[in-house]
Structure 1
């Protein structure tokens, strides 16, 4: 009998339970990305979600079930590898996902026989090989062509052929594929007939309409939220802001996020003479991100590629307008009434568009209304239900 602190896992109904397998550490969540997705599936879902992941704790036993609090619920957690995710993956000799895969192979016989859900292509391929008869759902969070491009900081930019080989194994074995990428949907559909189009959601208990946003006449606050990595192009954000700053002395920029380009961003800020108008806040908890969105007037997102960026929905839910490159808004949610999509990556042109937009303020309620159907309490139960039905089918 498999149990966790008195909870008999084997007695859980497999039709309303699933294993979520990812390099997540529930005790040390990373803001954004797959961690936020899994957190919200636990918080708003109507299933028993058991997490197979990693831990940086030196005392927590591996290969053993633990009961752990997450998102206001008690979950069963099964760590298979000891990983400190605060250490940059660029400095590691063994990638996190490879260590997770090794742990899965080592402890696979201790896992209950129930459907699984994975959030990385390489882990999907591992599950397909290790658990041949187990139905699983593959979540795809990014456009593969962007992920393997030179604009990506991922290791897959150097291993393109290997990535697409793993993708074929995973997608052809999965019971369903949840695609958070409108730009890659048709290509994924050619690999699997069970692709479910999806868009990211926002937590309506955290990202609420602002009651503290001041009038732009008191000073316009620009905001950037994202990793300081090449995909998000934070250097272009600073350069575009420099164009704005030369014309608008009342505008400031707050950059929320951390990454390997921090030193380069700080250097660009100094070179542009903007040290007194740009603040780098580093990584902050989700609640603080929401607070900064409620204080800001416009958010910039100038990524080279995205899947379905959660940060856009979160910003709009607080009434914050968004200016994004076309690549950063693949869902085409920005329509002029809630923000602006810009083409091209020239800082002068982007800066000019920002200046034009700032002179024509948008009402907060337009932003909030544009994402009401993306609230997690609506989107998550619906997604869980449709993937649950797919589990009963043989891929």
Structure 2
């Protein structure tokens, strides 16, 4: 293919979309990611983190295109292909709709809106592997790709469960139908949850290519710094967020939504804070429960000990992790959260509810602990235990535990699979 992307737009506007080959090597594999997000925007979440990592670590023999949304239609206008760089990776980007604030729930579900708009685009992609990270876009897709690969992030049963913020929970049978039709269109289905993969393998026993896929972290961003660097990071981060330099910090990072259960995090912290006067809670993220959280904090009379940091870039999140003492997770459900890898890579132990793969991602009692009950008292006691024994040896153990999940290592198997199914140039 050389430097020319094989995608040929026939609807809604004809012509061939631009592509570049300024990475030197001859491009032999064309990859198209289809997901409603803007890589240069502010969307936070595990799926978006994984896609960004995939783009950042694209091999030399691959060329990435992305059909997504735009948060800045002046720079990235709707309906127009743009040649852009994501870090050092050249990307051909086509936003098909505008999303002013991707971290707030719109009246019309984003995935429904995006999938219906995607339906209008009939692209001829005879030499392209299309990567989908939700079932809805694949179900609606009219893209004639060489092959489709579907990622399901977490246990799919939770999508229609009681703690899901996704509206599919109101029509579970319809979701299962869409899921089944999407799986029929995929040559591989990767599930980011062992239990979820086992469930899917049993439910769709006639399909052989459903398997577990682990998450990974970017070691260039999330790492345990040397002492001199850590001292500088701590000083700068405390000044940046106007934090108390004598405090110990508990970090909660994620979307402020029902799945992440941030109210339980506040209740857990309140119980711990009643026993130790120097601990403070850092909240990194945003979401629809922000107002309820503010009311809860006021009720607990902890306004001076809880800090909203807003949504953070990966680099800023890594710095906040490095100055924190414990990561607190109170989710109702998870898959294999990248956040746990990132925290441990920065030397931060994890205290969490027992959900998803977290139990297998930590060394219990050393790099973290899971708590079976959704009980603030039980979580607070474990939290206090880790606060009181934070040391350099523990940080080193955390970093070692994360090391096998470096993103280059994790993505290696994915790209090998892609090379096997990619059509000959």
Instruction: Indicate whether the TM-score tops 0.5.
Output: yes
2:411 paired with 1:380: yes
For 1:328 and 1:142, locate their aligned partners in 2 and report how far apart those are by CA, in whole Å.
7
Shift of 1:381: 2.8
Asked whether the equivalents of residues 29 and 422 of structure 2 are also in contact (C-alpha less than 8 Å), the reply is: no
Per mean C-alpha deviation after superposition, the further-off stretch among 95-104 and 339-348 is 95-104
For 1:5 and 1:361, locate their aligned partners in 2 and report how far apart those are by CA, in whole Å.
52
Shift of 1:5: 4.8
Shift of 1:29: 4.3
SS in 2 for 1:31: coil
TM value normalised by structure 1: 0.90
Classify 1:312/1:174 alpha carbon distance in 2 versus 1 (closer, same or farther; 3 Å). same
In the alignment, which residue of structure 1 is the partner of 2:238? none
2:175 paired with 1:163: yes
Shift of 1:62: 4.0
Classify 1:55/1:361 alpha carbon distance in 2 versus 1 (closer, same or farther; 3 Å). closer
CA offsets, 1:156-206, max 9 Å, x none?
221211111111111232110111112211111132321232211111111
For 1:145 and 1:106, locate their aligned partners in 2 and report how far apart those are by CA, in whole Å.
30
2:382 paired with 1:366: no
In the alignment, which residue of structure 1 is the partner of 2:385? 356
2:46 paired with 1:33: yes
CA offsets, 1:204-238, max 9 Å, x none?
11111044278xx9542111111111101110001
2:217 paired with 1:202: yes
Classify 1:187/1:108 alpha carbon distance in 2 versus 1 (closer, same or farther; 3 Å). same
In the alignment, which residue of structure 2 is the partner of 1:338? 367
2:140 paired with 1:126: yes
Alignment of 1:318-337 (within 5 A): 318-327=346-355, 329-330=357-358, 332-335=360-363, 336-337=365-366
In the alignment, which residue of structure 2 is the partner of 1:135? 147
In the alignment, which residue of structure 1 is the partner of 2:84? 68
In the alignment, which residue of structure 2 is the partner of 1:251? 279
In the alignment, which residue of structure 1 is the partner of 2:99? 83
Asked whether the equivalents of residues 151 and 304 of structure 1 are also in contact (C-alpha less than 8 Å), the reply is: yes
In the alignment, which residue of structure 1 is the partner of 2:3? none
For 2:361 and 2:303, locate their aligned partners in 1 and report how far apart those are by CA, in whole Å.
33
Shift of 1:295: 0.5
For 2:166 and 2:254, locate their aligned partners in 1 and report how far apart those are by CA, in whole Å.
15
Alignment of 1:146-295 (within 5 A): 146-190=158-202, 191=204, 192-210=207-225, 211=227, 212=230, 219-295=247-323
For 1:118 and 1:20, locate their aligned partners in 2 and report how far apart those are by CA, in whole Å.
6
Asked whether the equivalents of residues 142 and 308 of structure 1 are also in contact (C-alpha less than 8 Å), the reply is: yes
In the alignment, which residue of structure 1 is the partner of 2:5? none
SS in 1 for 2:259: coil
SS in 1 for 2:223: coil
SS in 2 for 1:115: strand
In the alignment, which residue of structure 1 is the partner of 2:37? 24
Shift of 1:71: 2.6
2:117 paired with 1:103: yes
Shift of 1:85: 3.7
Shift of 1:14: 8.6
Shift of 1:317: 0.2
Asked whether the equivalents of residues 308 and 331 of structure 1 are also in contact (C-alpha less than 8 Å), the reply is: no
Classify 1:168/1:6 alpha carbon distance in 2 versus 1 (closer, same or farther; 3 Å). closer
SS in 2 for 1:67: strand
Q: Which runs of 5+ in 1 are unaligned?
A: none
For 1:111 and 1:382, locate their aligned partners in 2 and report how far apart those are by CA, in whole Å.
23
Per mean C-alpha deviation after superposition, the further-off stretch among 382-391 and 335-344 is 382-391
Classify 1:62/1:264 alpha carbon distance in 2 versus 1 (closer, same or farther; 3 Å). closer
CA offsets, 1:121-155, max 9 Å, x none?
1112223xx24774100011122222211211111
Shift of 1:101: 2.0
Asked whether the equivalents of residues 45 and 381 of structure 1 are also in contact (C-alpha less than 8 Å), the reply is: no
Shift of 1:105: 2.2
SS in 2 for 1:303: coil
Shift of 1:98: 2.3
SS in 2 for 1:327: coil
SS in 2 for 1:237: helix
